[in-house]
Chain A
Amino acid sequence: EAGVVQSPRYKIIEKKQPVAFWCNPISGHNTLYWYRQNLGQGPELLIRYENEEAVDDSQLPKDRFSAERLKGVDSTLKIQPAELGDSAVYLCASSLQGDTSTDTQYFGPGTRLTVL
């Protein structure tokens, strides 16, 4: 079974440019997460989807970040315009979201963004 797929794996852009990341979760997983991981830190949740609905986007900087999960499968995270401080690894994860106490999140390899 394929794991969580993300693309691109690496992206280098100049500040003020737009950028988009794509994620394909594990088949059958209803819940999808986007995290940002800064160097030397643990991942921090940006947004969580239950099917097509964003149920927690409290940590998403809405002035420049946007996300969508049309049809409740693939998801795209966009930054426009990018700032130097956005340089990080953007991780996508998915889970079945059945029993909360046993729900395991499966992570993709991430997209490493460098903003120059």
Chain B
Amino acid sequence: KQEVTQIPAALSVPEGENLVLNCSFTDSAIYNLQWFRQDPGKGLTSLLLIQSSQREQTSGRLNASLDKSSGRSTLYIAASQPGDSATYLCAVLTGANSKLTFGKGITLSVRP
């Protein structure tokens, strides 16, 4: 059974800091890995999708890497802003039924 872990559960940083969010998963037989953002009371917004054959993806100030063999991914946020404050969830797509398994998320607070 696939398990996705995100540690720590919460993170607080000052504005402008570069930061890294970590994600680990137990089954390396994945189709892809996705990072989502969730604002309070809202649904999930897809940030980046990394296919199993890829090593990283970039979008603006966000960069996500994937090391499938070690079961790890990182989301790098450059020059953090208060508007980046949200919960960031990592999810992997695996299995014959293409099931998306989520971590519990990391709640990020960027202080002005």
Bound pair (A, B): yes
Q: Closest residue to B105 on the A side, CB-wise?
A: A42
Contacts of A4 in B (CB 8 A): 43
Q: Is the CB of B97 within 8 A of A48?
A: yes
> Beyond A106-B46, A110-B43, is A42–B51 a contact (Cβ under 8 Å)?
no
1/0 per residue B92-112: CB within 8 Å of A? 010001111111110000000
Q: Which of A40, A42, A56, A100 contacts B93 (CB 8 A)?
A: A100
B19-75 contacts to A, CB under 8 A, are 31-32, 34, 36, 41-46, 49, 51-53
Q: Is the CB of A101 within 8 A of B43?
A: no
Interface of B, helix, strand, loop or mixed by DSSP: strand
How far is the CB of B55 from the nearest CB of chain A, in Å? Answer: 14
> Beyond A100-B98, A101-B51, is A42–B34 a contact (Cβ under 8 Å)?
no
Q: Closest residue to B45 on the A side, CB-wise?
A: A107
Q: Is the CB of A102 within 8 A of B51?
A: yes
Contacts of A55 in B (CB 8 A): 97
Contacts of B99 in A (CB 8 A): 45, 56
B77 sits at the interface (CB 8 A)? no
A-B contacts, CB under 8 A, total: 63
A109 sits at the interface (CB 8 A)? yes
Interface centre among A44, A55, A101, A105 (most CB of B within 10 A): A101
Q: Is the CB of A42 within 8 A of B104?
A: yes
A27 sits at the interface (CB 8 A)? no
Q: Which of A44, A48, A103, A109 contacts B102 (CB 8 A)?
A: A44
> Beyond A40-B104, A91-B43, A91-B44, is A103–B51 a contact (Cβ under 8 Å)?
no
Q: Is the CB of A105 within 8 A of B46?
A: yes
A-B contact pairs, 22 of them (CB 8 A): A4-B43, A33-B100, A40-B9, A40-B104, A41-B104, A42-B91, A42-B101, A42-B102, A42-B105, A43-B44, A43-B102, A91-B43, A93-B43, A101-B31, A101-B53, A101-B93, A102-B32, A103-B32, A104-B49, A105-B34, A106-B46, A107-B43
